[in-house]
Amino acid sequence: MQPENIIADEPAWRVPRQSSATASSTSKVIATRWRAGSGRTLEFGAETAADCHVVKIVLRTMNIRFSVSGRTVQDGVTTPGTVHVTEPALPVRCLFRGPYDVLHLHVPNTLIAECARDMPGHQAPILRSEAVPSKDIVIDWLGRALLEANPVDGSLGQTYADCISMAIVARLLASASGVGTSERSRGSKLAPWRLKRAIDYVEARLDEPVSLADVAASAGLTRMHFAAQFRAATGFRPHEYLLRRRIERAQEMLVATGMVAGGCRALGRVPNPVTLHQRFQTLRGATTARLA
């Protein structure tokens, strides 16, 4: 009998697959994944359960329109590391314009209350659906570490997943209570219209040489000002963002055609097959052998 995946793909958007783990999950975080490499535009709706919060962690660059209770909280390109919390019993909808990959954590209200009681000197923080999803690179890396729970053998895999999930919840509670947020406030972010221009410029040239000066010029800024504001807005240096997008584009081409040559073209200047393998494994959590 095939063992159940700890991080299971969702049968429907934001709906955990029924398993022995979900049956006894009143005090545990359940992690699920919603992903597709299709270029189609698809829209889905759901409602958060009354007994939990849902934490969304974006794993790849996506173009979406996301709304909570009929109010649009994001419309356009969203980058890895974007985090959003939906409160219990709220209706949500999302329009996916192309490929998507999202990690959802279904966090019981009782667990949040229990964690909050262990935070001395602070009133119980509340995780709310903020107007604009936030960027948190620490949660991005924790989310990617969580995906590695499936290959861990036996009960240790579940223990591993529980520990990483609790670290994410603790990070969110600390942020909600105002602890450790000074780093986020540093530097001004790139204006949305400038960010869109820069991303559109990069998207149109993923298989071509792209310089920082060219991307900065597309946004109407100098290289120095652009680089700092781009990182503040996305959490990535411009060259890191470009590399991630090339990796994602190459993955899409590999999945769609099974041809490594097409994937390599999307990556631009990659010196050798070893580097190709390493960059897929580091940034996407998958190797070329598993994708092909």
- Better pLDDT: 181 or 55: 55
Given this model, what pLDDT does residue 189 score? 82
CA distance 162 to 3: 18
CA distance 33 to 61: 15
Task: Write the CA distances from 217 to 125, 198, 200, 213, 226, integer angstroms.
Answer: 42, 9, 13, 6, 9
Helix H or strand E encompassing 20 = helix 20-23
The answer to whether the CB of 86 falls within 8 A of the CB of 92 is yes
User: Which of 71-75, 159-163, 209-213, 271-275 is predicted least confidently?
Assistant: 271-275
CB atoms closer than 10 angstroms to residue 99? 20
The answer to whether the CB of 216 falls within 8 A of the CB of 223 is yes
The answer to whether the CB of 59 falls within 8 A of the CB of 65 is no
Chain mean pLDDT for the chain: 80
Report, as an integer, the average pLDDT of 273-280.
55
Selection from 169, 156, 58 nearest residue 106 by Cα: 169
- Better pLDDT: 150 or 177: 150
The answer to whether the CB of 276 falls within 8 A of the CB of 267 is yes
Condensed to tens digits (0 to 9), the pLDDT of residues 165-176 reads 999 998 888 877
Given this model, what pLDDT does residue 287 score? 46
- Better pLDDT: 93 or 195: 93
Condensed to tens digits (0 to 9), the pLDDT of residues 118-153 reads 665 555 556 776 667 888 888 999 999 999 888 877
Residue whose pair of structure tokens reads 């190709």 in the numeric block: 276
**How many Å is the maximal CA-CA distance in the chain?**
59
Given this model, what pLDDT does residue 6 score? 87
Selection from 88, 96, 85 nearest residue 35 by Cα: 96
Asked if residue 224 has pLDDT above 90, the reply is no
Given this model, what pLDDT does residue 283 score? 53
Q: How confident is the model at residue 181 (pLDDT cuts 50, 70, 90)?
A: very low
Given this model, what pLDDT does residue 151 score? 83
Provide CB contacts within 8 A for 116, sequence distance 6+.
124, 125, 173
CA distance 285 to 71: 33
Q: How many residues are listed for the chain in this entry?
A: 292
CA distance 135 to 78: 10
Selection from 186, 95, 84 nearest residue 128 by Cα: 84
Condensed to tens digits (0 to 9), the pLDDT of residues 98-122 reads 999 999 999 999 888 887 776 655 5
- Better pLDDT: 59 or 263: 59
